[in-house]
Amino acid sequence: MMKTPAKALAITQRKALVSEFIHWEKKDLRSVSGAVKSKAMSMTKAVSISQKFQEKLEENNQPNTLYVTRSSARVAQGNFFRKDIH
């Protein structure tokens, strides 16, 4: 089957358009997956930070370990994670 030059050109153009469309679709999917990855990483980081915070609270849940009043709140803010606060 012989193709005329116009038909061959149309097929080539169509292939080029399809490949360009596929290229941009892949690019969009890549950016979406990147956004999903970064969201998942930030959620994982937030969960790990909250777990560490919870562990520190459980460590400090001993009698006479940490009592914060309004006057000592400013002092204790920077030293909350130290074990030697009484």
Report the alpha-carbon distance of residue 52 to residue 46 in Å, rounded.
10
Task: Report pLDDT for 64.
Answer: 45
Residues 6+ apart with CB under 8 A from 85: 60, 65, 66, 76, 79
In this predicted model, what pLDDT tens digit does every residue of 40-57 receive, in sequence order? Answer: 666 666 667 767 777 777
Q: Which residue bears the tokens 């009698």?
A: 63
Q: pLDDT band for 63, please (50, 70, 90 cuts).
A: very low
State the average pLDDT over residues 8-26: 70
Side chain identity, residue 40: A
Task: Report pLDDT for 38.
Answer: 65
The full set of domain ranges for the chain reads 5-78
